[in-house]
Amino acid sequence: MNRYMILIHGDGEAFAALSPEDAQRMIESLRPFEETVAREGILLGTHRLAPASTATLVKIRGGERSITDGPFTETKEQFGGYYLVEAQDEAQLLRWMELIPAVMDSTLEIRRVIEEERSVP
């Protein structure tokens, strides 16, 4: 089995403009996908992220660090959350992803997780 991250990119301003009820309905529309992959045992984790406006960016350039408070993207599209899943291959994962509804204007990015042995203290 391979591990994959499904990265969710969306319009943070549009999401923030939703009423609390509409935002909750949008989040709940993901429930069938989440429940199905959890029941099948392939969902390893998922989380929403706070808006980019609350983030801190640490850049290292030429050995120097600079710290910037968000937002720092010039586009409205922000990284809003992720799913960590297991699948035989990307084709199988794409079949599961058909359960994700087309909500708002978003992009779902699939990235295979590189498994490597590392010692972390």
Q: Encode pLDDT of 20-57 as tens digits.
A: 999 899 888 889 899 999 999 999 999 988 887 788 88
The full set of domain ranges for the chain reads 2-112
Q: Which residues contact 21 (CB under 8 A, 6 or more apart)?
A: none
Q: Which residues contact 121 (CB under 8 A, 6 or more apart)?
A: none
Global pTM? 0.79
Q: Which residues contact 56 (CB under 8 A, 6 or more apart)?
A: 67, 68, 69, 70
**Per-residue pLDDT tens for 66-109?**
998 866 555 567 888 999 999 999 999 999 888 888 776 788 89
Given 3.30.70.1060, 3.20.20.70, 3.40.50.12780, 3.30.70.260, which CATH number is that of 2-112?
A: 3.30.70.1060
Q: Pull the structure tokens for residue 48.
A: 């929403």
Q: Residue 120 to residues 10, 60, 90, 116, 117: CA-CA distances in angstroms?
A: 33, 22, 29, 12, 10
Between CA 107 and CA 99 the distance in angstroms is 15
